[in-house]
Each structure stands twice: as C-alpha cells, then as structure tokens.
Structure 1
Amino acid sequence: MTASDNSSLLYPIAVLFDELKNEDSQVRLNAIKRLSTIALALGVEKTRCELIPFLTDTVYDEDEVLFALAEQLGSFAPYVGGPEHVHVLLRPLEQLATADETVVRDKAVESLRALATLQSSADLEAHFVPLVKSLAGGEWFTSRTSACGLLSACYQRVNSSLRADLRELFRALCQDETPMVRRAAAARFAEVARVVEPEHVKGELVATLVALSQDEQDSVRLLAVEACVGAAALLPKDDAKQIVVPLLRQCAEDSSWRVRYSVADKLIECQRALGKEVSKVDLVPVLPVLLNDAEAEVRSAAAGKVLAFCQNLDPYQRDLIIVNTILPHVKELVGDPSAQVRAELAAALPGLSPLLGKQCTVDHLLPLFLAQLKDDAADVRLNVLSHIGCVNDVIGVQQVAQSLLPAVVELAEDAKWRVRLAIIEYLPSLAGHLGAQLFDERLNALCCNWLVDHVFAVRQAAAGALKKLILKFGPEWAQSAVVPKVLSLAREPNYLHRMMCLLCIGEIAEVCGAEITMRLLLPTVLSLASDNVANVRFNVTKTLVKISPLVSPTCLQTQIKPVLDQLCMDNDFDVKYFASEAFVAIADATGIRIDSYVSNRPHSASKPAASERGRKD
C-alpha cells in the first residue's frame, strides 16, 4: 500500500472510529459489523496494538452491540496476524463472557472455543487456561457459568498438571453455591466427560454426577438426566449399569415432574447408550413408571417413546416383554383423561404390529385400535388412521375388512372435516390391500359422498384419490365404477357439484386414457360450456386445457375450437378471458395451434381481479 493509499484511508478510518464512539447504538452496531474493514486498513500491527485495546476499553455497551462484537472477534484471527497472535483477542472476549445478558456470554464462549482450536498447546497453557481459571474464580456467577463451557475446549491439549487443575475447577463449579452455575456445569457434563480420561470419569466425575442428580434445584436435576446419558455412553457397560441405571430410576420417580419428563424425553438415548442387555433388565421397569405418572406431560412423552423403546429391545425376547410388561400399562392409556396422551399413543401403537406378529396383533392390539378409532378427540382418530397401514401388512386384508372397515366407514362421515380428509388420504393405500371387488362392495359409495362434501378441501382430495384408485385398478374399472358417478354430477342442480365434475375430469382423464376421455369425458365437458353459471363456464376452459393432450387434432379443430370461440364471445368478462387464454395454453400443451376467429379477444396482459372466484367456494 502506497503513501497516497494510506492517506486516502485515514479519513474513512477516523470516521469508523468516531462511529464506534457514537452515542447512537445503531451507529455503533453498524461500525462493529465493519470491524474487518477497519482491521484491513490498519494492518495487523495496528489492529493488535490500537484497535483491540480500544475495543477492550469500550466493551461496556448495549447487548446488541456486545453480541455483534463477540461474534466478530471469533473470526478475527487473520486480522491480528494469525494463530500465534490469537491471544490478544482473549482479553475483550473474557470481558464479554462476564456480561449480564446470556446470549452475549454464550456468543463470547462460542468465539473463545473457536479461537482455542487455532492456538498451540503452549499458547493454551500460557493464555487460555489462565483465562478459564480467572473466569472460574470470578466474583459474579456470570463469569463462572462461562467457564463451564471452556474447560473441554482446552483440556486434551494441555499438560497433565493443568488437566488436574481443570478437573478440580469443574468439580468446584458443579458444587457452586449458585444454582445457575451448577446448571451450566450439568449442561456441559457430557462434553467434559468425553475429553477426560476414562479412569478419571469413573473415579472423579461419577461422584460429581451423583451430586448433580441429587441437587436441591430441579432445574439442575433435570440437566443431570442428560449428563447420565453422556456418562452411560462413555462408561463400560457393567459400570454404567451399576452407576447410571440407579440414577435414572431415581430421576424417574423424582418429586419434580420436569425431571421425570426429562427422563421420558431422553429414554431412547439412555436405552441406546446402555445397550440391549442392560435395557431389557434394568430400563424396561422404568417405562411403566413413566406411563403411569401423575402428570399428563410425562405420560404423553413416555407414550410417544413406546414404539422406539420396543424397537430397541432384544428381538429374541421383545414380544414377551411387550405383551407381559408394556402392553398392560398401554391399555390403560387408551382411556387416559388427556387427549394429548391418547394422541401420542395412537401414533405409536400401530407400529407395534410388525414387532408382535399377526396373532398378538389380533389378540392385543386390534381392540385398542377399534377403541381409538371411536375416540372423542379427532387427533387420536387421525393418528390411528395415519399409521395403520403397517397393520394391514401384518394381519391381512380380510382381518382388516372384518375388524377395522366398519370403523373406517363410520369415520368417513365424521363431523370433523380433517378426519374425513385423513380417511381419503388413507383410502388408496387401503384399496390396494382390499382389491377392486371388496373395495366396490364396502368403500366405493364413500367416494360419491366425498365428491359432494360441503368442504372444498375434502372434495378436492376425493378427486385426487380417484386418480390414485384408477392407477391401482385400471381404466376398465374406472369406466364402470368411477366415470358414471363423476358424469352424473354434471346434471346436479348445485353449480358447485357441476364444477366438481369438471375438477374430477381434469384429474382422472390422463389415467383413464385417450379413448375413455374422448368418448365419455369430453362430451360432458363441452355440454357444460352452455351452463347458466359463469364460474362453471370458465372452469370448462381450464378443463379443456388439461384434457387437450389426450384428444386428436381433428377433435381439437372440430369440437373444442368452436366451443372456445363461443366462450370468447360470452357475456361474462372472466369467461372471455379464460377462453382466450385457453387457445395459448392448448398450443403450449399439444403443440397444435388453434387460433380463435373471434376479433374482440380480451387483452391477456392484465388478469381480472374477479377471475379467481371459481377456485374458491
């Protein structure tokens, strides 16, 4: 950089320094976000000697500014000369790590951890460890909470003497008189245990874990549950069984429901960490305790874990454990007072069928499914229906038809439209198991009812379901079982039903094929072009665009084009607009151009505001 370049930068740098001192916090915030610009202009020497000390002296500011500063300093190593000079950034970050605002402290800790990875072992011992000790011995709890997050960042890269000091610091933080510090230590227990030597985990940290799990503050005890998971993954299985399992059982019966909830929430992680052998003997009794908890939140969390817990059991003894130990408590939850508990259970219960097999499913689970399908809460019924597909594979279609179909038929007319919608979404899958004949006998009539449902979302989903059914059963089945019912809607007095006919034709034409479309579907669409309701007429144009790729060029010219010409002269402006647009859309879809002879075609650049009226009921 030349002397003239330096002089040209003096003014901008001076301006930025003034902005850092400005009384307006937004101005200071903008300046902090441009610190890298100042540092590049100053060079590494002046950044270390002038800018960083300046920032250290002015570190007391509003929280938003301090947060931005902590974030910037975490990536500031290149601007101070690289890893060998990173230690100059520790001082301002140490001050930020003592801030009152939690997010500022957390960001400062995050930046310090990032800088620790850049430092050599010698620099960590000379600069970083003293910073950790200083924070750990701070008068205010804010500095001590930050120290909890820095111990693991340097532990493995310092000498054995300093490691012993750091372990002692961590034990002291776990026993701190301030609950906030003990919470921070408990939250960091697992990551500290991962870097400490195995013999010290068992010899020193286990005693600390026991103390945390028996802390007088429930906010510390619930974090100790997560610490137990971390310890279980690190300790040998025998040691984990002797140390961790008793702590988990103790927490599962804790006086605070939040601690018990934490056990339920972390139960699967505990199970995986301890292994199948320990789980089947020592953790299986914990699940019933949680399922029978007095608090609905705990029961709900435990019910949501039933399936995953059972999947992780030893396959050779899984069915016996489920039937004898878990299902008796699950059956009681089917009638639980809390709808949330019943809903969580309904989502998990069908997944047990593949684990138990056909006979156990029929004997033990089917009665529960039937009870849940009649539950007063819509979410319970929805969850059963959404997950019941795996039951079909286990017990067979005939059993499903005999046991569950009556309940499905009843739910098809449920007062809650979301339940009806769920039945529609489940119907194509169920139809694949039932076959065309049984479907026609038991469920085909439901489709007609859904096509005239008073909720548009249900009618729309029913049209989509018809398309999926035709894909499963074929065009011949569609011609006899679906098409007549769809075409009959064109004769309904309610214009919404006539519009539904058009929507269905647009959905099923492609899967029905060209022959059925031209012979049966197209004449009905063309007949509705003279409907007395404008919404029906302009939906005719949209349907013609959809089915145009399936008809012959001759049909386009002799049947579709005259109808569109007629609609282009319609009295309704929206109809004329969509008819004129259809000529362009058909050309794009088919590659065949059919120009309108109508000269007064409305301009297509601006779509009329009223043109959306046919898309909503």
Structure 2
Amino acid sequence: MAASDSGTDDSLYPIAVLIDELKNEDVQLRLNSIKKLSTIALALGVERTRSELIPFLTETIYDEDEVLLALAEQLGNFIQLVGGGEWAHCLLPPLESLATVEETVVRDKAVASLRAVAAHHSPAALEQHFVPLVQRLAGGDWFTSRASACGLFSVCYARVSAPVRAELRQHFRALCQDDTPMVRRAAAYKLGEFARVVEVEYVKSDLIPMFVNLAQDEQDSVRLLAAEACAAVAALLPAEDMEQLVMPTVRARATDTSWRVRYMVADKFDMVVGRFVELQQAVGPELARSDLAQIFQALLKDTEAEVRAAAASKVNTEGGEELPYEAFPGRSSLVLQHEA
C-alpha cells in the first residue's frame, strides 16, 4: 500500500515501517527502529500510540537482548507520548513482559522503567494497575518474574491504602522465603530499600524477621546481601530496639563461615556504628565495649586479608571516629599490626 494513496494511508505509514523494520533479519536495523520509537509515537499521536503502538510492542516482545534492552529503556521515557500520567498504566503491559525475560540486564532495565512509570501513577491508579502487576510478578511461575518483583515494592507501598500495604508485605515475605536462591538474593538486596518506606511498627514485626532469616540463609550470597541491608535497617529503629533486633545478626555475620559475608560486615561497619553509638548513649558504654569492640577486633584479626583491610579502612571514617578509643582497647595497635 503506497503511503501517498490517501490520508488514511499516510497515517498508517509510521507503524507499517516499524513493523517491517522489526521483522528485518538485520539486528542493527531492528535496534535502530526501536531507538526511533519516540519519533514514531510523535507521528502517531498519543491516542494511536496507546491503542496501536503499545499493544503491538507488547505482542511482539521477542528479539535479541540488545533490542529488548533498548525497548525497556525507551518505554521508561514514554509518559508524555501516551498522554501523560493519567495514561501511564498503558505502558505497564510491555514492561511487565520485559521484566520476565531471562537476560538480567533487560529485566533490570524493565524494572527501572517500571519504577519511573510508577511515579506518574495516582494512588488510585497504583492500586488499580501497578499493584496487581507487582502481585502477578511476585506470584509468577518463573524465578525471573519473582526476582523482578522485589524491586517494585518500595515505589508503590507508601501511596496505597493500609489493606493493600498489608498484602504487599505478605508478598515480600513470600519472596524472602522463595525456594529459588536468586529470588531470595533479590529480596535481600531490596530489603533495606523497602524498609525505608514501611512503618516502623511493621519494620519491627514483619521486616526484621525477614532480615534475620535472610541473614541465616544457607546461601552465602544471600547472607552477604542481608548483611549489606543491616545499615539501612539499623537506621530505622529506635535506639532501644537495636540490641534485641539487630545486634545478634551483626554479631553472627561478623563470624560467618564465608569471608565474603564477613567482608560485607567490615565494609558497612562505619555505616551502622552511628546508630550503635546512639544506643551506647541510651543504655551506657558497656554495649559498645562488649559488642562493638569484639566485632571490630575480630574483623581486624580476620584470617582473610580483604576482611582485615576493609575493617582497618573504617578506623578513620566519620562513623569510626564516633566511637571512643576507650571502647576499643588495643584498636590502635591492631590497626598498626594490620598495616605492618
């Protein structure tokens, strides 16, 4: 059909060219076509972009990873091209599909775009469109879907109703207990971020048990990420809750059988130490002397050079300087021994 036959034909031309190029055997041509999506959308207008272009893209998501990666990135910038925030939900179907693919970089980009699109949803639209997407991904048959879901809870939780928040916490708990290590890793990685938007009472009642379980996971890669989340969790708790809820996990992970986990504790030491200093001020200096000093000294004496180096590097940081020398008998000599 010639583009010059009629006005109708002219209006069909951009999408017809796109279809032809996306079916071309040349990967580079398909990639270039995806990178021109915004131009095509402008030519179509917002209504036809919503009714024709987005459904077409949703139905034809199969290609080389580099093409899918470009598509995931483009869709994150499509808000105005579909008519603004009121129509942001139109972008969810193709991004949901992209969030389930096998290639990690594509999934990560799709999740990043979904997070960007979520910001343009009203609270009502989040509950109507975005939260169901998160729930579908969280309950998906493939681990790729469930892993992607972990990165979406924090961007919608704060703006939905209390009953929906409760459902989201339940879904996140299930992901923390998933049979697949890759999903538990994703949950551990996003636990600290999620904790920042959850009410303190539910951090203590819901998220701390998740944190403790992940920190005891059979997979050291999961325990490592839980140790990394410790600083974020610690920052949210009142000082009086620190000893009971956080210190046992910090203490246990500082002597973990995996040197990578011990390294993470050492690397995050100065970030959590500020909260522990507040706790010291609240309950007296004995806690810092009995717990923090033991942890710090053990890390400085670790059998792995990488762990010792990470611990020593924290001595002169802002967090490390907050701890009084008297709380760490022999700290200076231990550091000198390490440097020697």
- The answer to whether the Cα contact below 8 Å between 2:14 and 2:44 also exists between their aligned partners in 1 is no
Which residue does 1:325 correspond to in 2? 330
Which residue does 1:272 correspond to in 2? 274
| Residue pairs, 1:303-452, within 5 angstroms | 303-308=312-317, 310-313=320-323, 318-321=324-327, 324-335=329-340
What's the offset of the Cα at 1:275? 2.9
Within 1, Cα distance between the matches of 2:130 and 2:13?
Answer: 36
Cα 1:310–1:122, aligned 2, differ >3 Å: closer, same or farther?
closer
Supply the AA of the counterpart residue of 2:73: E
Which residue does 2:173 correspond to in 1? 171
What's the offset of the Cα at 1:288? 0.6
Within 1, Cα distance between the matches of 2:197 and 2:179?
Answer: 25
SS in 1 for 2:217: coil
Match of residue 285, structure 1, among 273, 291, 294: 294
Within 2, Cα distance between the matches of 1:269 and 1:319?
Answer: 18
Supply the AA of the counterpart residue of 1:54: F
Match of residue 138, structure 2, among 136, 150, 153: 136
What's the offset of the Cα at 1:272? 2.1
Moved more, 217-226 or 299-308: 299-308
Match of residue 295, structure 1, among 293, 299, 304: 304
Within 2, Cα distance between the matches of 1:305 and 1:67?
Answer: 38
SS in 2 for 1:188: helix
- The answer to whether the Cα contact below 8 Å between 2:273 and 2:320 also exists between their aligned partners in 1 is no
- The answer to whether the Cα contact below 8 Å between 1:136 and 1:143 also exists between their aligned partners in 2 is yes
Within 2, Cα distance between the matches of 1:96 and 1:247?
Answer: 36
Deviations 1:525-568 (A, max 9, x none): xxxxxxxxxxxxxxxxxxxxxxxxxxxxxxxxxxxxxxxxxxxx
- The answer to whether the Cα contact below 8 Å between 2:15 and 2:53 also exists between their aligned partners in 1 is no
- The answer to whether the Cα contact below 8 Å between 2:300 and 2:307 also exists between their aligned partners in 1 is yes
- The answer to whether the Cα contact below 8 Å between 1:231 and 1:240 also exists between their aligned partners in 2 is no
| Residue pairs, 1:207-246, within 5 angstroms | 207-246=209-248
Within 2, Cα distance between the matches of 1:65 and 1:241?
Answer: 50
Within 2, Cα distance between the matches of 1:20 and 1:118?
Answer: 29
| TM-score scaled by length of structure 2 | 0.92
SS in 2 for 1:238: helix
Within 1, Cα distance between the matches of 2:44 and 2:183?
Answer: 40
Supply the AA of the counterpart residue of 2:131: V
What's the offset of the Cα at 1:175? 0.5
Which residue does 2:284 correspond to in 1? none
What's the offset of the Cα at 1:45? 1.5
Within 1, Cα distance between the matches of 2:339 and 2:117?
Answer: 53
What's the offset of the Cα at 1:13? 4.6
Supply the AA of the counterpart residue of 1:183: R
Deviations 1:246-285 (A, max 9, x none): 2111100000000000001111011123335537333222
Moved more, 5-14 or 89-98: 5-14
Supply the AA of the counterpart residue of 2:193: E
What's the offset of the Cα at 1:17? 2.9
Which residue does 1:162 correspond to in 2? 164
Structure 1 runs not aligned, ≥5 long: 336-617
Supply the AA of the counterpart residue of 1:312: E
Cα 1:152–1:334, aligned 2, differ >3 Å: closer, same or farther?
closer
Deviations 1:82-127 (A, max 9, x none): 1121111101100000011111101101111111110111111111
SS in 1 for 2:102: coil
Cα 1:273–1:4, aligned 2, differ >3 Å: closer, same or farther?
farther
Supply the AA of the counterpart residue of 2:115: R
Which residue does 2:153 correspond to in 1? 151
Deviations 1:20-75 (A, max 9, x none): 22121111110111101111111111111111111011111111000110011111
| TM-score scaled by length of structure 1 | 0.51
- The answer to whether the Cα contact below 8 Å between 1:47 and 1:80 also exists between their aligned partners in 2 is yes
Within 2, Cα distance between the matches of 1:274 and 1:34?
Answer: 52
- The answer to whether the Cα contact below 8 Å between 1:74 and 1:115 also exists between their aligned partners in 2 is yes
- The answer to whether the Cα contact below 8 Å between 1:245 and 1:283 also exists between their aligned partners in 2 is no
Supply the AA of the counterpart residue of 2:108: D
What's the offset of the Cα at 1:14? 2.9
What's the offset of the Cα at 1:8? 5.4
Deviations 1:295-317 (A, max 9, x none): 1111111121122254122xxxx
Deviations 1:425-464 (A, max 9, x none): xxxxxxxxxxxxxxxxxxxxxxxxxxxxxxxxxxxxxxxx
Within 2, Cα distance between the matches of 1:331 and 1:33?
Answer: 56
RMSD: 1.9
Within 2, Cα distance between the matches of 1:11 and 1:152?
Answer: 41
Cα 1:334–1:107, aligned 2, differ >3 Å: closer, same or farther?
closer
Supply the AA of the counterpart residue of 2:338: L
Identity among equivalent positions (%) equals 60
SS in 1 for 2:330: helix
Cα 1:253–1:301, aligned 2, differ >3 Å: closer, same or farther?
same
Q: Does 1:181 align with 2:183?
A: yes
Cα 1:300–1:116, aligned 2, differ >3 Å: closer, same or farther?
same
Deviations 1:566-590 (A, max 9, x none): xxxxxxxxxxxxxxxxxxxxxxxxx
Which residue does 2:49 correspond to in 1? 47
Which residue does 1:75 correspond to in 2? 77
Deviations 1:389-425 (A, max 9, x none): xxxxxxxxxxxxxxxxxxxxxxxxxxxxxxxxxxxxx
What's the offset of the Cα at 1:5? 7.8
Within 1, Cα distance between the matches of 2:309 and 2:221?
Answer: 20
Higher relative contact order (CA 8 A, sep 6+): 2
Deviations 1:503-542 (A, max 9, x none): xxxxxxxxxxxxxxxxxxxxxxxxxxxxxxxxxxxxxxxx
What's the offset of the Cα at 1:333? 2.2
Match of residue 56, structure 1, among 55, 58, 62: 58
SS in 1 for 2:246: helix
Within 2, Cα distance between the matches of 1:259 and 1:187?
Answer: 14
| Residue pairs, 1:444-593, within 5 angstroms | none
